[in-house]
Structure 1
């Protein structure tokens, strides 16, 4: 394999990996049933002091806000928010907007990779993709199992340049309905999706010649 072909295949593997990571995040974030399950599983009404109706209304608003491209003012249905809390959610929204751009770019590049694989009957990049997609969840799960609190903190310090994500429970009571174990479940959901896509990739690699 010449250097140009190796470089091209490496870039395609990295791109596919980015695509499936973002897809896993989007599938998890938009799966409101995960949170609805945790409402009872984590006993959120008793822990937060809010009723189920208000919890769902505020959570739905929060998810719709951060995943929408519309430039709207942040005002939760039944809960107050501090100026710092609002800034944090605007920053989260901005991350999702940038993630969407990366997602669309990765779709375009991935289509090139699929075309290349089909045209030349070379599906070897899916073998490497499968390994990378499997390695990353194992690495993440290792960090989670050692100390999720530390991993959670490092994640926020990497993506945010301020400490507005450290909510004052009195000024931003929304944090009462967002227990850390829910974020752990989200992280586990993302890793499960990535493992699934890893298995899909190895199936494509082994059966690609039949396409």
Structure 2
């Protein structure tokens, strides 16, 4: 009995980890399309003399470094990187790789668990977890929308052990072309993706309940 409960709890933890990591990884991938749009809209090239093509190349170089564990040094073609800047990006790299690892590890277990629920016609069990998963991010989003600047600062204080994320444009001009709005849009994108998964879970659960009735 205890073993079964432990296994059941592990399935739900794995599913949550899968949904969170999938939302993060999809956001990372979609940011390749989002960045040039924000860069053009907020006219960041007025702050640093660089062509649109070169700017995007540097963004790809940055994201490649952040997501590939075998690349151990950050080198940007058109931007210098200070020691503190490199240290911060190294910390970000750890979080991004952690998201990828979490997705890779949890995916087979989460998919198997979801498949088992479907086969046993127990998708209704998704309802409570999906409802909680729907509400909690909304509360966080409401708090963030009140003062995104403070939310942004608090987020960095929680996930980073130092103040290296406070970039000096004089030594790390890359920060000039990464507007705060871009990060905000990435947060929104991750939120929408996660909420979409929760809505899918709720829909499947309610359909399952209708079939039982």
**1:85 aligned residue:** 85
Aligned to 2:27, the other structure's residue is in SS state helix
**Larger displacement relative to structure 2 (115-124 or 23-32):** 115-124
Q: Choose 185-194 or 46-55, whichever is displaced more.
A: 46-55
Indicate yes or no: 2:158 matched with 1:158. yes
The RMSD of aligned alpha carbons is 2.2
- Cα distance, 1:116 vs structure 2: 3.1
Deviation at 1:8, TM superposition (A): 4.8
Q: TM-score, normalised by structure 2?
A: 0.88
- After alignment, is 158-167 or 126-135 more displaced? 126-135
1:108, distance to aligned residue in structure 2 (A) = 3.1
Q: Does 1:12 align with 2:14?
A: no
Residue 157 of structure 1: how far off its partner (Å): 1.1
SS of aligned partner of 1:30: helix
Unaligned runs of 5+ in 2: none
Question: d(CA) in 1 for partners of 2:40 and 2:115?
Answer: 46
Tell me what 1:22 maps to.
21
Q: 1:76 matched to which residue of 2? A: 76
Cα deviation per residue 1:106-128 (whole Å; 9 max; x = unaligned)? 21331342243134321133212
Deviations 1:68-99 (A, max 9, x none): 12133211111101011111111111122222
Alignment correspondent of 1:148: 148
Match of 1:34 in 2: 34
Q: What runs of 5+ residues in structure 1 fail to find an aligned partner? A: none
Q: TM-score, normalised by structure 1?
A: 0.88
Tell me the distance in 1 between the aligned counterparts of 2:207 and 2:2.
Answer: 27
Number of residue pairs matched by the alignment: 209
CA distance in 2 between partners of 1:69 and 1:54 (Å): 24
